[in-house]
Every structure is written in structure tokens, then in C-alpha cells.
């Protein structure tokens, strides 16, 4: 594999624990080279996929008019989403983190069209009414590769954020980009940009005492 981007030379543990959802630190002014994206994608395609079907497709959007159209749909959906009450109760550490998360998400919504490249991962088939087993199998055949892509971006000084709000307009986005809607389902919308600085740290997470179970709930 040829290397086109700078490498941060992070250890496996470092890249796994410091790959953040990057919003406010996306560099809107620095172009992102196709070669760097394809290098990260080449790594991502080594991820496991159910029955080795490799039924994924990858849509990258650079056209400004198309980015603006997608951003407008996202922004409208974000406005409705952000007005929903918090699901967390007083004393939950996630409630204390919400203002920062909301501010970051609002910033991305306001600036989505400025991101150099948008990425939409797709998986073959329509899965709107998939049951638990089918749904887990389908998305388990795509999302590991998406996460690997984000990890590969991190190692190369780029960042992204996992978003899904545009999916309320999935058919509209498919029509805009020429995606065969009946043949492929979209799995999210990912901004891609170099990051402003690369000094990301592990995030605060819930104690394992609250989430780990052995043999019984």
C-alpha cells in the first residue's frame, strides 16, 4: 500500500481510544485528497462482512450544490431532533455532558455544507422492515468497515462524525446523488476533513459497573 498522508504513528490502543466524533475541530479550508480517502477506505475494506458478501458501496460528495442540498435536509431534521427533551435523569453523567454535545452537534449542523467531503456508506438491499436478526446481520456487514474507515482517518490526521439524521430524507438524497434507492440502503452521513490539531483524548464513559453482566442481568 502506498502512503499519501502524514501518519500520526499511534498505537492500536491509542487510535481506538482517541477517535472522536469531530465537529468543531474540522478544518473546512484544507482540501482532502482523493488518494488519502482511498487509502483509508482500502484499510476499511478489510473489516469483516457477513458471509463475505462485501455488499457495500461508498458515495463521496464534493459538489458544493449537492453538499448544500444535503446539509439543508440535515439541518431541518436536526432542528426537530435538538428540541426533544433529554432522556437522561438528574445525576446521570451523560446529562452533564449534554450541553457540550449539543453545542458541538449544532455547530456541525450549521456548517455541514462547508465540509470538504461528505461520505455515505451503503449496503445492498432495502431493510426498512428488517427484524432483529436480519437487521443485526445487515448492519453488522457494513458498520465495522465504517468504523475502520474512521480509525484510518484518525491515524492520518483527519476526522469525522457519525450522523444519521439525513436518513429521514433518504429517498431525496438517493435521487439527488443517483443512488438506486430500491437496491441500496444508506447507513449514515459522515463529514470528512483534516482536524485542527490532532491531540484528541479518551472520552469520559460510564463505569463498567453499570453496564457489565456475568451470566445473569
The CATH number that applies at residue 49 is 3.40.109.10
Does 193 score more than 90 pLDDT? yes
DSSP E strand stretches across the chain: 56-61, 117-124, 158-159, 184-186, 190-194
pLDDT of residue 135: 92
Which of 18, 56, 24, 63 has the alpha carbon at shortest distance from 141? 56
Residue 164 lies in a domain: yes
Please report whether residue 205 resides in a domain: no
**Structural domain contains residue 75:** yes
Local confidence band at 87 (pLDDT 50, 70, 90 cut-offs): confident
Is there a domain that residue 17 lies in?
Answer: yes
pLDDT above 90 for 100: no
pLDDT value for 95: 67
Residue 151 lies in a domain: yes
Task: Write down the pLDDT at residue 108.
Answer: 97
The count of domains in the chain is 1
Give the pLDDT band (50/70/90) at residue 158: very high
> Is the residue at 2 inside a domain?
no
Quote the DSSP letter at residue 204: P
> Is position 61 within any domain?
yes
Q: Which residue segment(s) compose the domain that 156 sits in? A: 12-85+94-197
The whole-number pLDDT of residue 97 equals: 73
- The answer to whether position 115 is within a domain reads yes
* Dihedral sign computed on CA atoms, order 146, 148, 142, 55: positive
Give the chain's largest Cα–Cα span.
53
The yes-or-no verdict on residue 194 having pLDDT over 80 is: yes
Q: pLDDT tens digits, residue range 107-155?
A: 999 999 999 999 999 999 999 999 999 999 999 999 999 999 999 999 9
What integer best gives the mean pLDDT of the chain?
A: 94
Out of 8-22, 75-89, 179-193, pick the least confident: 75-89
Give yes or no for a contact between 190 and 120, defined as CB atoms under 8 angstroms apart: yes
Look up cell 457477513; give the residue. 50
Amino acid at each position: 500500500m502506498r502512503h499519501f498522508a502524514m501518519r500520526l504513528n499511534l498505537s492500536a490502543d491509542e487510535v481506538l481510544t482517541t477517535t472522536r466524533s469531530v465537529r468543531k475541530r474540522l478544518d473546512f479550508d484544507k482540501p482532502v485528497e482523493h488518494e488519502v480517502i482511498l487509502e483509508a477506505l482500502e484499510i476499511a475494506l478489510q473489516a469483516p462482512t457477513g458471509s463475505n458478501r462485501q455488499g457495500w458501496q461508498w458515495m463521496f460528495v464534493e459538489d458544493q450544490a449537492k453538499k448544500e442540498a444535503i446539509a439543508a435536509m440535515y439541518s431541518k431534521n436536526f432542528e426537530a431532533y435538538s428540541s426533544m427533551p433529554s432522556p437522561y435523569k438528574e445525576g446521570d453523567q451523560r446529562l452533564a455532558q449534554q450541553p457540550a454535545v449539543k453545542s458541538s452537534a449544532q455547530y456541525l449542523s450549521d456548517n455541514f455544507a462547508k465540509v470538504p467531503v461528505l461520505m455515505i456508506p451503503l449496503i445492498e438491499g432495502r431493510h426498512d422492515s428488517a427484524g432483529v436478526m436480519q437487521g443485526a446481520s445487515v448492519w453488522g456487514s457494513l458498520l465495522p468497515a465504517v468504523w475502520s474507515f474512521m480509525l484510518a482517518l484518525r491515524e492520518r490526521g483527519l476526522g469525522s462524525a457519525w450522523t444519521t439524521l439525513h436518513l429521514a430524507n433518504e429517498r431525496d438524497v438517493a435521487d439527488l446523488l443517483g443512488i438506486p434507492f430500491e437496491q441500496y440502503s444508506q447507513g449514515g452521513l459522515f463529514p470528512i476533513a483534516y482536524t485542527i490539531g490532532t491531540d484528541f483524548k479518551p472520552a469520559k464513559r460510564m463505569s463498567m459497573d453499570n453496564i457489565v453482566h456475568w451470566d445473569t442481568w
